[in-house]
A and B are shown apart, each in its own frame.
Chain A
Amino acid sequence: MKILVAVKRVVDYNVNIRVKADGSAVETANVKMSMNPFDEVAVEKAIRLKEAGLAEEIIAVSVGPEKSQETLRTALAMGADRGVHVRTDIDTEPLAVAKIIKAIVEKEEPQLVLLGKQAIDDDCNQTAQMLSALLGWSQGTFASKLEISGGTAEVVREVDAGLEKISIKMPAIVSVDLRLNEPRYASLPNIMKAKKKPIDQYTPEDLAIDVTPRVKTLKVEEPPKRSAGVIVDSVAALIDKLRNEAKVIS
């Protein structure tokens, strides 16, 4: 089995983001960028499936600017075998990314595509479901467990009510949640080795995909700040404040 895993380059999760002064976007220049944390979990799962003898090859794919190759190198250093970079400077929407990955799926013919359930920049939570729809494949979203045997996969999904277990037919699209696993750090020798692993390059035009945005960002603002309140010195004082000042408990 071949596994395709999608990775996105995003502002590192530890960065306190800043909105550009002109209100056009969030500042990404000179900001630490990393692989989307959910995608790291997806890469890790692909590697574990390979280590368990269930997959022969892992292909990491990323859609984005030139520097997305750094994110691909991270995936390769973790253990993916090769990369596919679809280069575009357009801020692609999930629908466009899904169309691009579909084109790559048709070239590579994987049995499983793993994606993070959402990217921590746009928080859209769409790409996996869209890809699954476009391919007419099954979808297992928000997975915290994934087991594959024969032609089916069992997925435990994290849903609002708790956990849901479904069985999905392969080939399948699975979007992963953070509790699926703890991603490994790439070792130095593997980082060196990753530099020699091949990365195929395409543009959306090569794949005949129109990535023109359908949604225009009119403005980006900072949310209203909550200001710090008061520090009370005892439990009794806290309850008194909640009862008599905020009036939120009786």
Chain B
Amino acid sequence: MSILVVAEHDNSELKTATLNTIAAAQKVGGDIDLLVVGHECNSVSEAAAKVVGISRVLAADAPELAHHLAENVAPILVNIAKNYSHIFAPATTFGKNIMPRAAALLDVSQISDISDVVSGDTFVRLIYAGNAIATVQSSDELKLVTVRTTKFEPVGAEGGSATVEALAGSGDSGLSSFMGQEVTESERPELTTAKVVISGGRGMQNGENFAMLEKIADKLNAAVGASRAAVDAGYVPNEYQVGQTGKVVAPDLYIAVGISGAIQHLAGMKDSKVIAAINNDSEAPIFQVADYGLVADLLTALPEFLVELEK
């Protein structure tokens, strides 16, 4: 077996999701090549070559690949697919955008968001917002798979010595173009890789109150997340959202503040090792999954939390 893993990066750094995806590919077994598609992304290819367990890095570097537009990236996967038994990518918005486009061009039925590898053709995946677990077997010769990154421990980023080979792009499709982005710059760890996450819900009442979570996050080196209700209400931007349709996180500690615990939110955080919840409603469903619950008004509990942390 020979597996291609599509690397996620921002043209300067390799994203950790890539390392989780490689770990999933290793469970299939066989040689693993890492595909780096981007522009002026030499530093990424160099970092990719050092990742443990990679045979070759294939680097496609061209201006039209800078923003990973699916119309330009998918043909590259199609061009080299014949060399592989499997193509893996992280089930992040990057992978979700590109992989099905390549799968359709290859006439492959993609397996989305796997949580485990049983064998080369059999995978475990979560359905119904994680409320059921399906074991599925693919009869396609080539398997295209996206990986739920939190379910696989990342491989080491250092220690490998893969070769780097240049790969030609297939030009600009002319179908789409990148216009800009809005990204919140933060010194805090990334939501999907942080060891501690503190999230706020509708109970936060407004965006200003999130400052209390941020202060606690800074003390705990935590990332700040949110429920869909808090994002919909405009308290925080969409990239904070944890849940079925947002990000999936599995930190050592997840602190849910003012979050009732709809199944769609639980879908994004119930693999956390320890869950603590603060909510003024003792009947809130979040308490049914929390290891530690505190029934309290968050407006008084959060300042106290900060004080206690400093003790």
A residues sitting closer than 8 Å to B (CB atoms) are 11, 13, 16-17, 19, 26, 38, 93-96, 98, 117-118, 120-134, 137-142, 144, 154, 157-169, 177-179, 213-223, 226, 228-239, 241-242, 246, 248-249
A144 to B157, CA, bound (A): 35
In the bound complex, do residue A220 and residue B308 qualify as a contact, i.e. CB atoms below 8 Å apart? no
In the bound complex, do residue B128 and residue A242 qualify as a contact, i.e. CB atoms below 8 Å apart? no
In the bound complex, do residue A248 and residue B274 qualify as a contact, i.e. CB atoms below 8 Å apart? yes
In the bound complex, do residue B109 and residue A215 qualify as a contact, i.e. CB atoms below 8 Å apart? yes
Binds A, one of B81-89, B133-141, B201-209: B133-141
| Given A219-B134, A239-B308, 9 more pairs with CB closer than 8 A | A130-B100, A138-B175, A161-B239, A166-B69, A214-B140, A221-B135, A226-B270, A231-B295, A246-B291
B196 within 8 A of A: yes
B299 within 8 A of A: no
Binds A, one of B23-31, B50-58, B160-168, B178-186: B178-186
A164 to B94, CA, bound (A): 12
In the bound complex, do residue B245 and residue A219 qualify as a contact, i.e. CB atoms below 8 Å apart? no
B96 within 8 A of A: yes
Q: Is the interface of B mostly helix, strand, loop or mixed?
A: mixed
Q: Is the interface of A mostly helix, strand, loop or mixed?
A: mixed
Residue from the list A164, A168, A216 in contact with B136, Cβ < 8 A: A216
B247 within 8 A of A: yes
A226 to B71, CA, bound (A): 42
A124 to B301, CA, bound (A): 39
List CB contacts (< 8 Å) of B65-123 with chain A: 67, 69-71, 74, 92-94, 96-105, 107-113, 122
A98 to B183, CA, bound (A): 32
B174 to chain A: closest residue by CB: A169
In the bound complex, do residue A220 and residue B244 qualify as a contact, i.e. CB atoms below 8 Å apart? no
Shortest beta-carbon distance from A103 to chain B in Å: 14
Using A125-B96, A133-B105, A158-B238 as known contacts, say yes or no to A219 and B110 having CB atoms under 8 A apart. Answer: no
Shortest beta-carbon distance from B76 to chain A in Å: 13
In the bound complex, do residue B175 and residue A246 qualify as a contact, i.e. CB atoms below 8 Å apart? no
In the bound complex, do residue B100 and residue A133 qualify as a contact, i.e. CB atoms below 8 Å apart? yes
Shortest beta-carbon distance from B291 to chain A in Å: 4
Residue from the list A26, A131, A215, A232 in contact with B127, Cβ < 8 A: A26
A238 to B99, CA, bound (A): 43
A134 to B247, CA, bound (A): 28
In the bound complex, do residue A126 and residue B100 qualify as a contact, i.e. CB atoms below 8 Å apart? yes
In the bound complex, do residue B292 and residue A230 qualify as a contact, i.e. CB atoms below 8 Å apart? yes
Q: Which residues of B contact A163 (CB under 8 A)?
A: 181-183, 237-238
Q: Which residues of B contact A138 (CB under 8 A)?
A: 71, 173, 175-176
B223 within 8 A of A: no
In the bound complex, do residue A139 and residue B109 qualify as a contact, i.e. CB atoms below 8 Å apart? no
In the bound complex, do residue B239 and residue A162 qualify as a contact, i.e. CB atoms below 8 Å apart? yes
Shortest beta-carbon distance from B172 to chain A in Å: 12
In the bound complex, do residue A221 and residue B244 qualify as a contact, i.e. CB atoms below 8 Å apart? no
Shortest beta-carbon distance from B87 to chain A in Å: 14
A121 to B102, CA, bound (A): 23
Q: Which residues of A contact B183 (CB under 8 A)?
A: 161-163
In the complex, the number of residue pairs spanning A and B with C-beta atoms less than 8 Å apart equals 263
Q: Which residues of A contact B155 (CB under 8 A)?
A: none
Q: Which residues of B contact A216 (CB under 8 A)?
A: 136-137, 139
B11 within 8 A of A: no
Enumerate 15 A-B pairs (CB-CB under 8 Å) in ascending A order: A16-B263, A95-B109, A117-B245, A122-B112, A125-B96, A133-B100, A160-B192, A162-B237, A162-B238, A167-B179, A179-B232, A216-B136, A220-B133, A221-B135, A235-B294
A223 to chain B: closest residue by CB: B133
In the bound complex, do residue B293 and residue A231 qualify as a contact, i.e. CB atoms below 8 Å apart? yes
B288 within 8 A of A: yes
Shortest beta-carbon distance from B149 to chain A in Å: 11
In the bound complex, do residue B292 and residue A123 qualify as a contact, i.e. CB atoms below 8 Å apart? no
In the bound complex, do residue B182 and residue A248 qualify as a contact, i.e. CB atoms below 8 Å apart? no
Using A162-B184, A215-B139, A242-B253 as known contacts, say yes or no to A123 and B176 having CB atoms under 8 A apart. Answer: no
Most chain A beta-carbon neighbours within 10 Å: one of B129, B136, B173, B291 = B291
A234 to B179, CA, bound (A): 50
B231 to chain A: closest residue by CB: A179
In the bound complex, do residue B97 and residue A129 qualify as a contact, i.e. CB atoms below 8 Å apart? yes
In the bound complex, do residue B179 and residue A166 qualify as a contact, i.e. CB atoms below 8 Å apart? yes
Q: Which residues of A contact B231 (CB under 8 A)?
A: 179
Using A168-B176, A235-B301 as known contacts, say yes or no to A228 and B128 having CB atoms under 8 A apart. Answer: no
Using A239-B308, A248-B274 as known contacts, say yes or no to A129 and B196 having CB atoms under 8 A apart. Answer: no
Most chain A beta-carbon neighbours within 10 Å: one of B104, B220, B232 = B104
Shortest beta-carbon distance from B256 to chain A in Å: 12
In the bound complex, do residue B137 and residue A126 qualify as a contact, i.e. CB atoms below 8 Å apart? no
Residue from the list B122, B293, B296, B305 in contact with A230, Cβ < 8 A: B293
Most chain A beta-carbon neighbours within 10 Å: one of B94, B103, B128, B228 = B128
In the bound complex, do residue A228 and residue B108 qualify as a contact, i.e. CB atoms below 8 Å apart? no
A26 to chain B: closest residue by CB: B132
Residue from the list B93, B104, B290, B308 in contact with A158, Cβ < 8 A: B93
In the bound complex, do residue A129 and residue B70 qualify as a contact, i.e. CB atoms below 8 Å apart? yes
Shortest beta-carbon distance from A182 to chain B in Å: 9
Using A125-B112, A214-B139, A222-B132 as known contacts, say yes or no to A162 and B181 having CB atoms under 8 A apart. Answer: yes
